[in-house]
Amino acid sequence: MARQCPQCASVFPDDVFFCGHDGAITIQEQEPGDFDPRLGTQLGDYIVAARVADGAMGRVYEGRHAETRAQVAIKVLHEDVARDNVAVERFKREHETAEELEHPNIVDVIDFGQTPDGSYFMTMEYLQGEELTKALGGKPLPPERAIRVLCQLCEALDNAHSFGFVHRDLKPDNVFLCRSDAGDVVKVLDFGSVKLQMETGPKLTAFGTTLGSPYYMSPEQAMGKLDVDQRTDVFAVAAIAWEIATGQVAFEGANVAQILMKIVNQDPAPPSGFNRAYPAAFDDVITKGLAKDKTARFASAGELASAIVAAFGLEGDHRRWAATSQSDIASALAATSPPAPAPFGMSAAPAVAAASPAAAVGERARETYTDLAPAAAPAPARGNVALVAVVALVVLVAIAAAAFVFLR
């Protein structure tokens, strides 16, 4: 799509940001049937120059500072979302949190304000690259890329956790991969779901409801518990690491209820059974990261990342490898061997971990078919009945809330 100078009306290709005649900021041309009145207007100190993407919460624009011409991204809430007080509070929380967290692996947020039409906008650094979701595309990442990405992600989380912030909504969509000569540079997005330890401000969720993407929720989130801490993010990173290794989500289900049931009651098969590029020692690390009892998980994201590094036989903690180029990580992996997995009976890995890769995949397939035939599935143990009831209650509350909003 072309761009046009608002002063002399000259037309330029889409990659020309300033008019060659008068230096004005060029504005993206629009289709007659898809007119956006914000293009060409000013929000705060920034001119809205082009549309970039649309999401469930809002639209993202390319912006340019009116004087310095610096490029930024401008996120504006959709009109219906801007009428939701909880959504607006989350949006404000995202700005306040990210503004306080200055870290190279956390997106830099610049400004926040209200639009003339009553919505809200936030400006942030303009990122070139893609979300981890797109990078995966249903396929695993090579270990050298996975190590660099996970180490940087965990560095960002350790920084946030040191300030008392817990993300609570980590997922591949919120892990942005910027391009560089050394490899990916991670930028963690969307701190709108953040919980501040010991906070006294307004709560963003009602009692008994959940918050976060269901595929990456910790068991305590899935059960609607209130004692959520940094180990919830550790669980989410472990689930993302499982997906990076296999190209599939760790907890699959036909609906939210089924996903939450698996998170609370089941363990995914060892990732090495799907991808032999990942060693059995990696399985042990992920199993600990996905422990149902949060006290059995790694105490910090950094501990998880360092354990992943060690599982591949690399020396040094995660900080070293977060700063190492992808090509150098690949060379280091080629020159070393991963350690042997923990002895049988000493590992927290499920029993299927002791089986061959083919058997592990077969076991996972059997679990899937069991889910599709509930009549043949064994009845839950008595100790799990309360757990199942809580999850069911959470889902019913969510459905009732959605129905109320729809019918209102």
pTM: 0.78
Residue ranges of domains in the chain, CATH in brackets: 36-125 (3.30.200.20), 129-407 (1.10.510.10)
Task: State the helix-helix crossing angle for 256-265 and 385-407, rounded to 10 degrees.
Answer: 150
169 catalytic per annotation: yes
Of 169, 184, 267, 283, which is the active-site residue?
169
**Sheet with strand 175-178: strands edge to edge:** 129-131, 175-178, 185-188
> What is the number of other CB atoms lying within 10 angstroms of the CB of residue 399?
12
**Three-class secondary structure of residue 226 per DSSP:** coil
* pLDDT score for 405: 40
**Confidence (pLDDT) at 92:** 86
Strand-pair category, 46-54 with 58-65: antiparallel
Q: Residue 194's pLDDT is what?
A: 65
Residue pLDDT tens, the chain, 408 long:
899 999 999 999 999 999 999 999 999 999 888 899 999 999 999 999 999 988 888 999 999 999 999 999 999 999 999 998 888 888 888 888 877 888 999 999 899 999 998 999 999 999 999 999 999 999 999 999 999 999 999 999 999 999 888 998 899 999 999 999 999 999 998 876 666 554 444 444 433 334 457 899 999 999 988 888 999 999 999 999 999 999 999 999 999 999 999 999 999 999 999 999 999 999 999 999 999 999 999 999 999 999 999 999 999 999 999 999 999 999 999 999 888 776 654 544 433 333 333 334 334 333 433 333 333 334 444 444 445 455 555 555 454 444 444 344
